[in-house]
Amino acid sequence: MYPTSPPSVVPSADPPRRPLPPAVDDEAVAHTLVELRPVTADNWRACTSVTPTSDQESFVAPVSYYLTLCHYGGVWQPLAVYADGQVVGFAMWGLDDADGSHWIGGLVVDRAQQGRGLGKAAVAALLRFVAAQPDCRQVALSYQADNHRARALYAAAGFRESGEVSDDEVVARLDAARLDALRPARPPRPADTLGMDPTQMRRLGRRVVDLVVDHVEQRATGPAMRTAAAADLQAVLGGSLPEEPSDPDEALTTLAEVALSAMQHGDHPRYLARIPSPASYAAILGEWLATGHNAIATSWTGGSGPATVELVVIEWLREMLGMPEGTQGVLLSGGSMASLTAFAAARAVGGPGVAYLSDQTHASLTRDLVTLAFPAEHIRVLPSDDAFRLPVHALAEAVAEDRAAGRQPLLAVASAGTTNTGAVDPLPDIADLCDREGMWFHVDGAYGAPAALCAAGRPLLAGMDRADSLVVDPHKWLFQPYDVGCLLVRRPGALEAAFAMDPEYLRDVRATHGEVDFRDRSLELTRRARALKLWLMFRVHGARQVRDAVARGIALAEAAEAMLRADPRWEVVTPAQLGIVTFALRGADAAGHVARAAALAASGVAAVTSTTLRGRSVLRLCTINPTTTEADLRTTLAALAD
């Protein structure tokens, strides 16, 4: 009688050692049409009709008994043996959790089918089936010592008696070499989705690393900026859709030497235009790692590891920028999307209302409000003061006017470092006004907020910690490659109030125990794992080194201001503030400034920005790259003046 679970086996003190009889050969002809199928309602009755001989393997009861045992025992699994499309036998198998062995519970070929060469063919099919099971490391079975037919049949298949007994039966185990030979030959799964060989993958990957490191090492000797003609770029990069494969080395060379050379190099030490992006190599490695793993940070269930890294990075940024505990956040593509996300959260919490900005607020924020369908009368752009800051008295007057006109003030936007001059709005006073008026206080610190990390910048940003929402772009002054922006929100749940969704097709991956589904904190559903590069940079370099690099950017602007004041050809228009200084060439008009900036960029020596401050044309330097030297500044100013 078979047990209700795979037998536990113990060494026998005196195991049976009768010599094996000669192999029986009454079924020596292999039957190629034998196959095993699951027992189902369709073949159940045919299986119960299988009639064994009295000594066949160890089946001594009707097959219906063993089928019932499989059904209620829950451990043994039944199989129907087919030949020529009909049921000719029955078998059982199971897994012993105690020793990890896959057990064959027995095999029977119907008495009427014997003599057709089915016995050995069925054993071979059963062994192939069991050997193909996941993690199958050993196959075992047991039989009565005097069952000579079973002993001979299984010995011929490669089983060896092990000196163990189970329920007074001899235990035999399949020889490991024979088991390996029985495993199904599966074609190797390609490592690459489109079939690139792993050897080539590694070789090309190393070449990409070499191309990037060569660029990093040599960037100071190359152009700070290069723009190519559209027709020239199309001639090399364009053409009809490639139908057949081509040389990957040639394709990489084309991208590196043509596409990636024709751009602004924001990590160049003399790229001083707009806002540079001096990415650290540790951050580049983090970006590669995330991309190589196709990492996603959308739902907790689908990306709990990347989501945890994002939560950790947000907490680090909160701490560094002085925001209060409990502040929540989300990583986005940059300041434009971060401010749009903040404005949507403010409206979700406070309802429709008027937004207040200055004429020095970044233009993308006005566009954000328009995109969110703020009506024109709800977008108040106020003139800045003589220091290019948002005047609090003008803001208070505008709020009072709107209340008197029946409009609801909603939010005030302050800059922690304007793009034009690096000016910081009077954050404490604006925060006080927002508190009194019940308004949302938004601070755009996309480039300037990291100055709070160092002693030179921290006092200038006092009051930033009172923001209801704060934007910072780590791909600017926190030395990350494009793209990554961060939005921090003081009010827990405000982001979810604006963006949470719960469609039926996402409920399988919904967080259920207080975890964060980042898809509910912005418009992005598909979200790459931007946090890994930030996490790796801080782990590799530490916050102190980052603080020192930020402080150097502030000092470089002050050094540039000193050089400008020492040269009578130049006039400082706005002093160095948060790594930005503006100036003018005496006697030059707007066309002259624009032409000099364009000629400098075309030469490749350096890049600066031309802009306008209250109708006056100026030139501008942004010095946040810590690899920039004072020699670079002198070279740039000399080239501009000539």
**Mean pLDDT value across residues 583-599:** 97
Percent residues over pLDDT 90 in the chain: 68
Query: Hey, where are the domains in the chain?
Result: 10-182, 203-268, 306-535, 543-641
Query: Quick one: fold of 306-535?
Result: Aspartate Aminotransferase; domain 2 (3.40.640)
> What is the number of H-type helices and E-type strands within the chain?
19, 19
Report the distance separating Cα 70 and Cα 143, nearest Å: 19
Model confidence at 279, pLDDT cuts 50, 70, 90, reads: very high
Note the pLDDT tens digit of each residue in 177-206. Answer: 777 777 766 667 888 999 998 889 999 999
Q: What is the pTM of this model?
A: 0.73
The angle subtended at Cα 237 by Cα 234 and Cα 239, nearest 5°, is: 75
Lowest mean pLDDT among 23-32, 194-203, 323-332, 419-428: 23-32
Of 291, 292, 290, give the one whose Cα is nearest residue 313. 290
Residues with Cβ within 8 Å of 229's Cβ and at least 6 positions away in sequence, in order, are: none
What is the CATH superfamily name and number for domain 10-182? Gcn5-related N-acetyltransferase (GNAT) (3.40.630.30)
Longest dimension (CA), the chain: 115
**Mean pLDDT value across residues 233-243:** 97
Model confidence at 74, pLDDT cuts 50, 70, 90, reads: low
Give residue 173's identity as a one-letter amino acid code: R
Lowest mean pLDDT among 138-152, 359-373, 539-553: 138-152
| 543-641 has the same fold as 306-535 | no
Matching CATH number, 543-641, of 2.40.50.140, 3.50.40.10, 3.90.1150.170, 3.40.50.300: 3.90.1150.170
Q: Which two tokens stand for residue 99?
A: 């020793």
Residue 521: the pLDDT is: 98
Q: Which of residues 174 and 385 earns the better pLDDT score?
A: 385
Note the pLDDT tens digit of each residue in 515-569. Answer: 999 999 999 999 999 999 999 999 999 999 999 999 999 999 999 999 999 999 9
282, 212 in Cβ contact below 8 A?
A: no
Residue 56: the pLDDT is: 55
Residue 186: the pLDDT is: 64
Report the distance separating Cα 414 and Cα 439, nearest Å: 13
Q: Which two tokens stand for residue 35?
A: 């196959």
**Mean pLDDT value across residues 454-471:** 98
Report the distance separating Cα 465 and Cα 484, nearest Å: 21
**Mean pLDDT value across residues 603-632:** 98
Percent residues over pLDDT 70 in the chain: 91
Lowest mean pLDDT among 39-53, 63-77, 209-223, 424-438: 63-77
Helices 300-321 and 531-566, packing angle to 10 deg: 30
Report the distance separating Cα 488 and Cα 466, nearest Å: 11
Lowest mean pLDDT among 14-28, 116-130, 226-240, 367-381: 14-28
Residue 71: the pLDDT is: 63
**Mean pLDDT value across residues 258-267:** 98
Note the pLDDT tens digit of each residue in 4-14. Answer: 334 343 333 33
